[in-house]
Structure 1
Amino acid sequence: MDNNAAPEPFSPGESQASRAAQKAAWRQQLIDQRQRMDDRIWRSEQLQRVMRVWLISRPDAVIGAYWPIKGEFDPLPALFRWQEAGREEDAKGAARHRRIGLPVVNKVDKTLTFYTWYPGCPMEEDAYGIPKPKDTEIIQPTLLFVPCVGYAPGGYRLGYGGGFYDRTLAALRPKPFTVGLGFTDGFLPDLEPEPHDVPLDAILNDNGVVWPLT
């Protein structure tokens, strides 16, 4: 398979099983492609800038994110700068203390709980081998940055297939504003949503805001 080739589209009349197989193929192709990116540093710097500019107009004080795996974009440097800017505003009495949370999987109901993260905080591996904050405070984000393996028109996301974010967002009240993060190569124009899919509120990539359309 050519890792730089466009993913094959769905065919008319496909069964649920064949659609699942197509999604699995897309995932593998996009993850392999992402892990072999020659211009990762440049693309990451561009997306860091997009995030920082986008966050300027947001009122949130508690943001959930993720620890990057499998070549994902790392949102934490931009969020740390967002947090530091909040501390500078706090000193002037103009802003609330800003907090960042990373997800921890609940083994029983397969949902995510967000624990406070800060640079240098104690970390340990979860059941999936992903670093998570150790013994920090549970927080509920009003804004949630979500990693995208792929993304599609209408704000739809292709994830890893575990359904963790879908279950978490169905349970959280109030529901946080959701923002997908991914590289330009993750765009899937032929990904069609299924009945249970809920679109993201926004999607950012290294070119800028790709959803909602303006």
Structure 2
Amino acid sequence: MTKAECRKLYTEKRKQLSAVEIEHLSGVILDTLLKTVDFNGKTISVFLPIREKREIDTYPILDKRHELNYRVALPVADFQANNMFHYLYENPEQLVVSEYGIPEPVRGTLVSAEEIDIVLVPLLCFDKKGYRVGYGKGFYDRFLSTCRPDCLFVGLSFFEGIDAIEDIFRDDVPLNLVITPYQICHV
């Protein structure tokens, strides 16, 4: 399938999920994530869900940061410069929902790409080689290309992967790992 075909199909599949299913599947994914990936002492880039797009609920990761000893860096999409930067998460008062429906911090301590150890990556669909389909703006691919070579890129998906995305571009950055409610995909 092409990226456009994937985007259309998986957007529709998400629309079919009830709020109860999203909550349950998100919980399964996050439980698996925390059992699979060592967060201790690390700085984790965590996307927050765009509710209207029925994304995986990652808010529980914010609450576990002290208990499990990790720092959370939250991305901010700069649509003017077409890139992302991160603020350290300190408290819920930092957060606002942007005009694009993205929960983002409005202030905080800047966190550079070099400081980030693990990036949780949103996606609509992924393939067996670790390539993903997002919303098509390229924010994550541009950001991932600036991370350290040892940074772990982890996709979170409600659905299983497909065999191949046909139209992969030179600048597309593959994931290292994808966690679904049903399996852990090492790529």
> If the TM-score is normalised by the length of the shorter chain, which range does it land in?
0.7 to 0.9
Q: Does 1:143 pair with 2:126?
A: no
Please show how residues 1-214 of structure 1 align to structure 2 within 5 Å. 9=1, 22-38=2-18, 39-55=21-37, 57-69=38-50, 70-86=53-69, 98-140=70-112, 141-173=116-148, 176-185=151-160, 187-192=161-166, 193-212=168-187
Q: Deviations over 1:126-166 (max 9, x none)?
A: 35232211211111322100011100011111111100011
Displacement after TM superposition at 1:58 (Å): 4.5
Displacement after TM superposition at 1:170 (Å): 2.2
Displacement after TM superposition at 1:196 (Å): 2.7
Distance in 1 (alpha carbons) for counterparts of 2:92 and 2:62: 14
Q: Deviations over 1:158-201 (max 9, x none)?
A: 1111000111122345663211111125x222313333322111
Identity over the aligned pairs, expressed in percent?
27
Given that 1:105 and 1:111 are in contact with CA atoms closer than 8 Å, whether structure 2 keeps it comes out as yes
C-alpha distance 195-207 of structure 1, shift in aligned 2 (>3 A): same
TM-score with structure 2 setting the length: 0.83
Greater C-alpha radius of gyration:
1
Q: Deviations over 1:56-97 (max 9, x none)?
A: x355521001111211112231353244222xxxxxxxxxxx
Give the unaligned 5+ runs of structure 1: 1-8, 10-21, 87-97
TM-score with structure 1 setting the length: 0.74
Give the unaligned 5+ runs of structure 2: none
C-alpha distance 123-40 of structure 1, shift in aligned 2 (>3 A): closer
C-alpha distance 177-60 of structure 1, shift in aligned 2 (>3 A): farther
C-alpha distance 60-112 of structure 1, shift in aligned 2 (>3 A): farther
Distance in 1 (alpha carbons) for counterparts of 2:97 and 2:26: 25
Aligned partner of 1:196: which letter? Answer: D
CA RMSD of aligned residues (A): 2.2
Aligned residues: 179
Displacement after TM superposition at 1:109 (Å): 3.0
